[in-house]
Structure 1
Amino acid sequence: MPPVSSTKHVSSSPVRDLLALTSRPEVISFAGGLPAPELFDLPGLRMAFHQALSEPTGRDNLQYAPTEGNPALRSLLAARMTGKGLPTTEDDLLVTTGSQQALTLVTAALLGPGSVVAVEEPTYLAALQCFRMAGARVVAVASDGHGMVPEALEEVVRAERPSLVYLVPTFANPAGRTLPAERRAAIAALAAAHDLWVVEDDPYGELRYRGEPIAPLAVGSDNVLHLGSFSKIGAPGLRLGWLRAPESLMGTLVIVKQAADLHTSTVDQAAAAIYLATADLDGHVAALRTAYRSRRDAMVAALPGATPAGTTWTDPDGGMFVWVTLPAGTNTTELLSAALAHDVAYVPGPPFYATTPDQATLRLSFTTNAPDRITEGMARLAEVLR
């Protein structure tokens, strides 16, 4: 049987591959972009699942369900998004099996072989996988410490005619940077002027540790598709995400999801709706912020002593990641084996690039280790990097 052409040039995710290598308990891993399991609200979720599987609705919650998603869950999500500055109705939302599926659905609906996607660099590597699986051509837009540069995007739009612009504008994966409000407005205006779709991937937006929230690009724009997730504020094992889209595209997205999986897990949606209606999610997120803030601070404080002279790094206002650029000539892919031998792990930076990678970059995630363990892990990393 001949190979499937859409997968021939798609590599496995190095983050997923590293999970197997870092499963030993003695390894301090800064590799996976994982929430801290000890902070999951296990009692609250256990109660929600117990109620979802109890009479009188328990049997209904084990049945097939509408593709669009649980109406109660969509209504609660819409109210939460509206309360946080993004006016949303139940009909604006499609529940997905994680926000990664939302991106896959958008890709299937809008892209095909030869389509052009514009991205910042570096960017989320699973998005690059998704676009390449569709046979799309990915072009990079010049970015700086504040994210994508609107003037550079305009040049790319005129030269390349992309069908889609992909962004993680708030606490980006992998760089941790946040796109300022004025750039968001400029990019949204460009999208409207050129009838261009923008994907605003926002799994980290509620994990802010410093500064004031910035309004999403999707506010007031019918050209911006907004992706959200329960994975970082709830639990990733539920695989619950959502896609906010205008009516003009929603029908197509629903059909694409029907072809993919009919609908997202009915019982997980029901439990999530109960959880949102009964639990103090804002209080839980506040506790996450407190814990993750101290972990970020521990990592940033350790970096000067762990890295050689000439190294730079981001100091993110939120999210899960610090992006490190070592002196020119360093190859973080080659150094990874030495790091693993010292029982510490990171993700080399090159897979996050759509075009020419910077071999001297790496991503560190601070969320899954307590501050003292971060300090120890950074000391181990210092033995490799210095």
Structure 2
Amino acid sequence: MKKPMENLFSDSANKLKVSVIRELLKLTLKPEVISFAGGLPNPDAFPVQQIHEITPGVIGNTNALQYGTTEGVPELRGALKKRMATKNVKCEVENIQITSGSQQALDILGRILLNPNDLILTTCPTYLGAIQAFGFQDPRYELVDMDEHSVIVEDLEARLEDIYKRGDNKRLKFFYVTPTFHNPAGVTIPEKRRKEIMELCNTYDVLIIEDDPYGELRYRGKDQPLLKSLDTEDRVIYLSTFSKILVPGFRIAWMVAPTELVKKFVMAKQAVDLCTTTFTQYIGAEYLNKGHVDQHIEKIKEIYGRKMQIMLQSMAEYFPEEAEYAEPDGGMFVWVRLPEHINTIEIFPQVVEKNVAYVVGSAFYPNGKGLNTMRLNFTHPSDEKIEEGIKRLGNVLHQILEK
């Protein structure tokens, strides 16, 4: 007699839970729904013509059609070394690892750094994909509070002091943070705080994972230095991706990390996929080497900057005063906080009835809090749908708060 399948699952697999977001988003599949839920780039921001021009030459290169090295093709890693230098990050090709999207980097870093019950320091809220990736290793979380400028340094220091006092420092593996245009909160750490964070992590000997998928997408304000550029002790693992500045379907991302960690990462990646797709890596290398990237980023910024302003202006016009939100300087999201008695999971069906959708904010909290929050994406919907969707959402929020 065949065993029930659930008896064969590993302990890690049995701990997996159905995503609340995925279940709620099934309600948004109707074409008439205006969705602010996904984190999707806009197809209008894809460099289609440049890809058309690059692809024939790549097809003619048989190396691009063959297996590649696990570390990534040398042409792309070399181009990325030059690009990182423009951001004041000095590294060697050996420090650069190509991954199948940043999500793979998070997954493999979890595999090689975490044991069950190890401790992760991160922001509250934090990126849902990181929670999912690290979750397979069954870690614990120490959460750092944020304000309109992201990480509150005093709270970070207090958390570190407490970790050491209770003897948990041996289980503390890293501080995971998105310093620029945080997902979901949209906020950015200013330079002074970045330097203070680096000083604290140096003092307490804490590894940092700097996740930077949106750093190129600044629509106003001044660029802030990467934590990696302030790293004097080689303790920052830097992650970034082509998904927002080329196309997400290519699944190309990269990591800059200490050589010893890259070597261990390669061993783990070999067990996962042998190598990231070589064909798209060669396209990415040509995209960089031909100098397309900076020119195209300006086009992306024009499109997304306009969309962000439309969303913020519409929120100012249609949202109730009780809805609090920070105005980001870039990225892809606006983070909304409603009065404590409002549960964005419970009101979601009422919102979808009006053919509009968001992501419930509680999914971004490892401790299950944030029930009164939501994340709104402005990059994917059309300009017209942004205004109409915010109007619909604002009307529902007014009705709920009036009750």
Distance verdict in 2 for CA 1:368–1:117, change over 3 Å: same
Distance verdict in 2 for CA 1:325–1:220, change over 3 Å: closer
Please report the TM-score for the alignment, with normalisation by the length of structure 2: 0.91
The alpha-carbon deviation at position 8 of structure 1 amounts to 3.2
Deviations 1:356-376 (A, max 9, x none): 412111000000123222111
The alpha-carbon deviation at position 184 of structure 1 amounts to 1.2
Q: 1:312 is aligned with what amino acid?
A: E
Deviations 1:205-241 (A, max 9, x none): 0000111111011114211100000001111111110
- Residue in structure 1 matching 2:177, options 135, 151, 167: 167
Matches within 5 A, 1:97-108: 97-108=100-111
Structure 1 CA distance for aligned equivalents of residues 224 and 189 of structure 2: 9
The alpha-carbon deviation at position 52 of structure 1 amounts to 1.1
With 307-316 and 173-182 compared, the bigger mean Cα shift is at: 307-316
Identity %: 39
Name 1:214's counterpart in structure 2.
Answer: 224
Distance verdict in 2 for CA 1:276–1:228, change over 3 Å: same
CA contact (8 A) 1:19 1:32 kept: no
Q: 2:345 is aligned with what amino acid?
A: T
Distance verdict in 2 for CA 1:311–1:220, change over 3 Å: closer
Name 1:44's counterpart in structure 2.
Answer: 50
Deviations 1:258-283 (A, max 9, x none): 12111100111112112222252111
What value does the CA root-mean-square deviation take over the aligned residues?
1.6
The alpha-carbon deviation at position 17 of structure 1 amounts to 4.8
Count of paired positions: 383
Distance verdict in 2 for CA 1:205–1:92, change over 3 Å: same
CA contact (8 A) 1:70 1:269 kept: yes
Q: 1:77 is aligned with what amino acid?
A: L
Name 2:76's counterpart in structure 1.
Answer: 73
CA contact (8 A) 1:15 1:32 kept: no
Is 1:380 matched with 2:384?
no
Stretches of structure 2 lacking an aligned partner (at least 5 in a row): 1-6, 164-168, 399-403
CA contact (8 A) 1:124 1:173 kept: yes
Name 2:258's counterpart in structure 1.
Answer: 246
Name 2:30's counterpart in structure 1.
Answer: 24
Q: 1:295 is aligned with what amino acid?
A: K
With 275-284 and 317-326 compared, the bigger mean Cα shift is at: 275-284
The alpha-carbon deviation at position 255 of structure 1 amounts to 1.0
Q: 1:197 is aligned with what amino acid?
A: L
Q: 2:324 is aligned with what amino acid?
A: T
Name 1:343's counterpart in structure 2.
Answer: 355
Stretches of structure 1 lacking an aligned partner (at least 5 in a row): none
Is 1:86 matched with 2:96?
no
- Residue in structure 1 matching 2:125, options 122, 136, 150: 122
Distance verdict in 2 for CA 1:178–1:220, change over 3 Å: closer
CA contact (8 A) 2:97 2:256 kept: yes
Name 1:157's counterpart in structure 2.
Answer: 160
The alpha-carbon deviation at position 12 of structure 1 amounts to 4.1
Please report the TM-score for the alignment, with normalisation by the length of structure 1: 0.95
With 204-213 and 10-19 compared, the bigger mean Cα shift is at: 10-19
Deviations 1:339-360 (A, max 9, x none): 1111111001111112141211
With 363-372 and 318-327 compared, the bigger mean Cα shift is at: 363-372
The alpha-carbon deviation at position 291 of structure 1 amounts to 0.9
The alpha-carbon deviation at position 123 of structure 1 amounts to 0.8
Name 2:189's counterpart in structure 1.
Answer: 179
Structure 2 CA distance for aligned equivalents of residues 338 and 297 of structure 1: 26
Structure 2 CA distance for aligned equivalents of residues 6 and 199 of structure 1: 23
With 191-200 and 239-248 compared, the bigger mean Cα shift is at: 191-200
Is 1:317 matched with 2:320?
no
Structure 2 CA distance for aligned equivalents of residues 169 and 254 of structure 1: 26
CA contact (8 A) 2:87 2:229 kept: no
Q: 1:121 is aligned with what amino acid?
A: C
Q: Secondary structure, in 3 states, of the residue corresponding to 1:273?
A: helix
